[in-house]
Chain A
Amino acid sequence: MVVTKEYKTWQDTGRTEPVEEQNWRLRKSKVNALAAFTSAALILPGLDVTAAVPVPKAAANVQYGHYQESDTRMEVDVYHADAIVPIDDRMEFTYSIDQDTYSGATPNFSVPQSLRALWVKWPKVGDKSFEIPAKVPDVISTASVIDHLWMLPYNFGFKEFKDAVNASESSGETDYGKLIAAGYSALVNRYVKVDDKIIQGFQQQPRETRNMPVLGLKYYFDDATVGLSGGQSNEPDFISNFGTINVSKEFNDKLTTLSGAYGLTENQISRNSGGHSSHVGHKPAAGANYPELDETSTFHNFNLGLSQILSKNTLVQLNGSYSNQNGYLTNPYKSVFVRGEITAYEYFQHAIDSRPLDQLTNLEVVGFDLFRETRPDQRNQWAFSSRLNQFIPGLDAALHADYRYYLDDWGIDSHTFELSWHQPLPQGFMIIPNIRYYSQSQADFFAPYFLAPRADGNYSSDFRLSAYGALSGGVTVSKQFTKGVSLEAGFEYYTHQGDLKLGGGGTNEYADYNSYLAHAGLKVDLSAPGGSNGHSGHSMHKHSGQPPAGVMFGHMLGQAGDVMVGYRYMYSDQTGGMRHGSHASNDLAIINDVIRLNPGKKLGEVLGQPCYAKDEKSDCSISKPTSMTMHMHMLDLMYAPSDWLSLMLMPQLINMEMGMTTLQSDPDHGHAGNHVANSLGDTYMAALFKLFENQGHHLNVGIGMSAPTGNIDLTLDGVDSESGQLQDYGMQLGSGTWDFKPSLTYTGQAGQWSWGAQASGVKRLQDANNLGYALGDMFQSTAWGSYNFLHWLSASVRGVYTSQGAIRGESYRPNARSAPVDFPGNYGGQFWDVGLGLNAMIPEGAYSGHSLGVEWLQPVADHYNGYQLERDGALSVTWGFAF
């Protein structure tokens, strides 16, 4: 087909750099006479901060990182994408976006081990549960401890407590307060043993997502650069806005570069009640006691850098930085244990006066209490680093040696040593082993727990402020493919140990942990050595083979060795009313259906308390969805090992949000609010085979698989636990099963007209996923026609029929049974859509080889299984670059 010929033409055109492009580089370098020798030297200003010319062509990166701590501690998925685009020969523009999703347990405080005996004894207080398992480390709700601990000995008379009171009484003491004080003293002495082993209390971090977009602009003068960048980091309880300016200037025939930078960061810190859940709108967990928090902090950062070439094989960079942080620098969720200084008698007076805890001053604490940590509201930090890059000519390798000294006025100083070896190997491979050692002293106000209150009122038991050492080592492997594409993957193991502190004296081993960081990245650099140098001189007139944007697996690469990198965005929206079959449904019908699906329950039970769900913590009233939006970001990678085969890999990131409203008069019992789900979805892989190609007719078959990389156990409260109540089926990010995705696509064209048809399906290869259900199989058929009304632009009309089965089986995990979305029968159906689309393919100039497609799918008829929210339509946007 036509596309094939075009690719051949590109190959024939050759890939030498256009002459004009070389010329402007030479102009800048002012060494025209030595042009033959200098091609490498002219890239030299590419030494990071000293870069004196913008990138000649655009480059883009995507990266995935997975961070995992030992046991069931923190786990973070990090997604990153960036692009750098030259605007003219003086300016470049950068854009990056980061998304982190994190969950797991995080240390909250530490106490002497003897206190644990007390925890295990703690009874339940009414319906406020402490949820303290008997095992160490204990995951406990700090909030409830803060709320209730101070009353415990009084309310629940421990044996030691009673014995001491009795002993005091029999020795003649009659003052009631002093009797109680004797009891407290006995308890404190019994349970807070100073030489005791230390254990940590943990807190569950609900699954949360952070987004960080950053924009930047860099302007290049003859021997200086000015860069501006700004962005926002956004998570539910922490918003950070930042901007930086940096200036660098080259001296001394480009052997010396001086740079300076200033950055301003403004943070807004809040604290979600109820254990900062992403489940907005839900009632806070019982016993949660996080007061409102609305604080700010401001950071000023300054940096001065000097890089100096010492010889033809040696480069050194020195940096000094100063940072002033002021405002709220405390971690709003961490606690400290303080065995106080005032007497138990005074403490008892507080108890009987019923003075609220928040009226106690820092010096009024005693005994078994946990308090929120407090840090100074100022921090001045200095850091100095030196980096040495040594080239080893015999091995073609480079050694990087870095050292950093850090000091702050919280009493912490640290040393960081790092070595990495960059060894190129044959066939574009590179291997980079690295080792890092870090050691820090503790903050003045750090202690595992506190025997007495501090006069300055500052306390922290955060392991990050303790004294320790950390050793880490890893390896990264990268492979440079032709055409400017490179892949990279690495792994690094990290161990944090008190004993590893330089010179000894580290914090006790209780805080030790290990972690690893794995990452994989893809880079497309159009100006890299061996990169594609564009397709100038070539013009494409025909691109009719491009199917509409909403069609996947529709086109193949034409030529062996061709590569395509693309991005596919899909948006779908459901905000219409509830539908049943092909008709609108009223609320009464929904209520009756949910009642029907909860057999054996009385109407009163269904409509009110107690709950009729499988799990006692479930919500108890009938509700319905009001809106459901989904954004899918898919990376589209395609490679043709031969001209009859194209291989595809498509990982995707999904963001979903669903609004619910209660169908009951009492809104307090409602399951109303928003549910969100953000993370990696299932990953598609496909092999497309060319079956037939002749005179404008093309037929290909796709053998595709979907790997279950998307989570199916997202919970309503965001906490990853076996007992947590799951979000409904439609809000999970994947199918949980391996799925077979076959497709058969025909495309044809004549003159300015082109057309095509595709039949595709999804067959679940497993009867059930590990939660006991499988999504319905799907069949889809579609046909389209398009017309080229400009030589680079075509418009398409498409019809689509989709049939999807209901969910088979049922999740065995507790989930709500109160809304239509909670039942497997209310999924799938038959759907008819009409699509209108535009396809553009840029035939020449700086952006040749790029294609862009947009399509809107408008539902025209539906037949839903059961009760479902009406579809409003779906938008698909695709961008691809083939080379």
Chain B
Amino acid sequence: MMISSCRYFLFQMIAIVVFLLIQGCGIKLDPWDRGHLAKPTMAITPYPNHSALREHVFTSKEASQGGYGGIGGGCGCN
């Protein structure tokens, strides 16, 4: 059951990726159209230190780890 749900999910993810790539390839953005995207608030992690602190707490208190792109070291946090 676990395997099948995992497969289903993988399939979904691949579908989304393909969709986005098709979407993305279609668009063209001139440099002067990229002003909004360049705003600090549009960064993936606008406050990296705060994000790292929260991530540290969540991974210490929850079973789930990873998935957000960052790879770091471990601790024996209780």
Measuring CB to CB, which residues of chain A are less than 8 angstroms from any residue of chain B?
A: 31, 34, 37-38, 40-44, 46-49, 61, 63, 65, 67, 74, 78, 80, 82, 100, 102, 106, 205, 210, 212, 214, 231-233, 235, 237-238, 240-242, 244, 246, 252-253, 255-256, 259, 261-263, 265, 267, 269, 299, 301, 303, 305-313, 315-321, 323, 331-333, 381-387, 389, 391, 393, 397-398, 402, 404-414, 416, 422, 424, 430, 432, 438, 440, 443, 464-465, 470, 476, 478, 488, 490, 492, 496, 515, 517, 519, 521
Contact = CB atoms under 8 A, between A and B. Distances in A.
Contacts, number: 249
Nearest to A238: B76
Contact of B71 (A303, A312, A391): A303
Contact of B44 (A47, A382, A430, A519): A47
B66 A519 contact: no
Nearest to B67: A383
Interface in B58-78: 58, 61-69, 71-78
18 contacts: A41-B38, A44-B37, A49-B44, A63-B53, A235-B75, A238-B74, A246-B71, A309-B29, A317-B44, A319-B67, A320-B13, A382-B6, A389-B44, A413-B2, A413-B5, A432-B47, A478-B47, A519-B53
Nearest to B56: A78
Contacts of A410: 63
B37 A391 contact: yes
Interface of B: 2, 5-6, 9, 13, 16-17, 20-21, 23-25, 27-29, 31-39, 41-47, 49-50, 52-54, 56-58, 61-69, 71-78
Contacts of B13: 318, 320, 384
Given A41-B34, A312-B34, A61 B78 contact: no
Contacts of A404: 64, 67-68
A30 to B, nearest CB: 10
Contact of A261 (B20, B25, B43, B69): B69
A80 B54 CA distance: 13
B27 A440 contact: no
A309 B24 contact: yes
A63 B37 contact: no
Contacts of B25: 252, 256
Nearest to A321: B66
Given A47-B43, A312-B37, A305 B71 contact: no
Contact of B27 (A41, A237, A310, A332): A310
A720 to B, nearest CB: 14
A162 B30 CA distance: 88
A450 B53 CA distance: 35
B64 A465 contact: no
A732 B50 CA distance: 30
Given A40-B38, A256-B21, A422-B46, A381 B27 contact: no
Contacts of B72: 214, 242, 244, 263
A303 B34 contact: no
B62 to A, nearest CB: 6
A100 B75 CA distance: 11
Contacts of B23: 308, 310
Nearest to A237: B76
A384 B67 contact: yes
Contacts of B66: 301, 303, 321, 323, 381, 383, 406
Contacts of B38: 40-41, 43-44, 46
A411 B5 CA distance: 12
B40 to A, nearest CB: 8
A501 B23 CA distance: 35
B76 A406 contact: no
Nearest to B52: A80
A265 B44 contact: no
Nearest to A446: B63
Contacts of A315: 37, 42, 44
Contact of A440 (B5, B24, B52, B62): B62
A414 B64 contact: yes
Given A252-B24, A312-B29, A320-B13, A412 B63 contact: yes
Main secondary structure of the interface of A (DSSP, over half): strand
Given A41-B34, A519-B50, A440 B73 contact: no
B31 A38 contact: yes
B78 A74 contact: yes
A245 to B, nearest CB: 9
B41 A422 contact: yes
B69 A316 contact: no
Given A80-B53, A406-B64, A306 B20 contact: yes
A269 B32 contact: no
Given A305-B69, A312-B29, A240 B20 contact: no
A125 B33 CA distance: 78
Contacts of A74: 78
A496 B63 CA distance: 13
Question: Which 3 pairs across A and B sit closest by C-beta, in order of nearness?
Answer: A383-B67, A238-B76, A263-B71
Given A253-B29, A331-B76, 16 more contacts: A40-B34, A47-B43, A48-B45, A80-B52, A256-B25, A259-B69, A261-B69, A301-B66, A303-B66, A306-B17, A312-B29, A332-B76, A383-B64, A424-B41, A464-B63, A517-B53
Contact of B73 (A265, A318, A383, A478): A265
Given A38-B31, A253-B28, A387 B44 contact: yes
B73 to A, nearest CB: 4
A407 B6 contact: yes
Contact of B67 (A106, A332, A406): A406
Contacts of B78: 74, 102, 106, 205, 331, 333
B35 A492 contact: no
Nearest to A61: B49
A38 B32 contact: yes
Nearest to B73: A242
Contact of A517 (B16, B27, B54): B54
B62 A47 contact: no
Nearest to B72: A242
A63 B75 contact: no
A59 to B, nearest CB: 11
A307 B45 CA distance: 13
Nearest to A334: B78
A306 B24 CA distance: 11
B29 A321 contact: no
A431 B67 CA distance: 26
A407 B49 CA distance: 26
Nearest to A410: B63
Contacts of B44: 47-49, 307, 315, 317, 387, 389
Nearest to B53: A65
A412 B63 CA distance: 8
Given A40-B38, A299-B74, A383 B69 contact: no
A577 B2 CA distance: 67
A25 B41 CA distance: 22
A404 B59 CA distance: 13
A443 B63 contact: yes
A37 B31 contact: yes
A386 B37 contact: no
A92 to B, nearest CB: 14
Contacts of A40: 34-35, 38
Contact of A488 (B50, B64, B67, B75): B50
Contact of A398 (B21, B41, B61): B41
A37 B27 contact: no
A440 B63 contact: yes
B9 A240 contact: no
Q: Which of B24, B41, B67 gathers the greatest number of chain A CB atoms within 10 Å? A: B67
A515 to B, nearest CB: 8
A235 B34 contact: no
Nearest to A45: B38
A44 B25 CA distance: 18
A310 B20 contact: yes
Contacts of A303: 66, 69, 71
Contact of A416 (B36, B64, B76, B77): B64
A63 B53 CA distance: 9
